[in-house]
Structure 1
């Protein structure tokens, strides 16, 4: 396991500079702040504020691409599975005249599977996106795996490696599209109430678009409270 962790960290160290200085992809910084709580052993809620900032446009009004408050809930089932739903509101380019909005409704199922003595997290999500210019349905599947970097269990004050991949397809009556999001990151588990995560995500977008595939690198900084 230690050798595997070393290899993963080596790959991350090599890829980060390449991604960060890419000249042919959009570069985004995405800070997030979230708070979650439970009203019972099974029912939990989460609020989050997410902001998308264009690194290339940091000196002008196009710097803020999106401001997105979010609300989700989940209900625990047997075997570690969860069902839930939520609502997002997205305000696009708020500093530019003629900004656009999006109302997003979602339903999701989460479950875990075994990988040796570790757990893989799966999430299947269906979204309805009501935008100022159009309506779109989207189906998303995410696979994630967190690896403690000190021992086999994650304790207070320890760090962990984050690996994620999410595939999605957007569709409606007239068109379809697809995207893939691969993420590597590092998390700090301060205690059961607080954690901080730093991640780099590579998005392959517009896979089925006539205009060709586009690329985006997103630097995510996330602080979570309970």
Structure 2
């Protein structure tokens, strides 16, 4: 696929919703650093540090909304299927007095399917969120598609396009809510141990809330290191 055509498609897909909602939507920059390693051919581990920064509040103490260290593991059941789990700890507004926390436990399964020769990645995740103010269960499903911009296979030094959509529903005993996250991005595959990704995510939040739907745009910059 021609690189310029791919980049134009990426720009259109990301700028249209930005133009529609940028005035009232929340704007977030999310830098991440990830480190992965394997203890066997089937068992792998990952640690990640993720920070949510409010772009509108970048000049005050409310700029850092979340700091989130993460740990996950996965076990390969077959060539295209993995199960796993993990733990996240979220510290909210750490620079402001009266900050809040969240402990998050998760269980997930991921598998691969194909449409002709196109490889689609699926992930189904169940979360238990123990927060300083409440407890919440959440079910998430993500469909993603990555492909190189040059040739059929991704080689060191090449770029790739990232497309994904994730739907989720959160539910407690007396209430439920839903959210959708659409992402488009570009990745740089340096080699088998390092890659970098830049993405734009549009979140439609509080779909079932009485207060009405809210919108969020998240710019992600992610660096991945594999041992």
TM-score normalized by structure 2? 0.95
Matched, 1:9 2:7: yes
> Residue 6 of structure 2 contacts residue 149 of structure 2 at CA under 8 Å; is this kept in 1?
no
Deviation at 1:77, TM superposition (A): 0.8
1:98 corresponding residue in structure 2: 98
Distance (whole Å) between structure 1 residues aligned to residue 111 and residue 15 of structure 2: 34
Bigger mean CA offset, 43-52 vs 109-118 = 109-118
Distance (whole Å) between structure 1 residues aligned to residue 60 and residue 106 of structure 2: 33
Q: What secondary structure does 1:77 align onto?
A: strand
Distance (whole Å) between structure 1 residues aligned to residue 146 and residue 203 of structure 2: 20
Bigger mean CA offset, 20-29 vs 215-224 = 20-29
Distance (whole Å) between structure 1 residues aligned to residue 15 and residue 185 of structure 2: 14
Q: What secondary structure does 2:199 align onto?
A: strand
1:73 corresponding residue in structure 2: 73
Q: Which runs of 5+ in 2 are unaligned?
A: none
User: Could you say what the CA RMSD is over the residues aligned between the two structures, in angstroms?
Assistant: 1.4
1:182 corresponding residue in structure 2: 182
Q: What secondary structure does 2:204 align onto?
A: strand
Distance 1:180 1:121, change over 3 A: same
Q: Which runs of 4+ in 1 moved over 6 A?
A: none
2:118 corresponding residue in structure 1: 118
TM-score normalized by structure 1? 0.96
> Residue 143 of structure 1 contacts residue 166 of structure 1 at CA under 8 Å; is this kept in 2?
yes
Deviation at 1:115, TM superposition (A): 1.8
- 1:9-50, Cα deviation, whole Å (9 max, x unpaired): 333212434555611100000000000000000000000000
Written as runs of structure 1 = structure 2, the 5 A alignment for 1:1-226 is 2=1, 9-20=7-18, 22-226=22-226
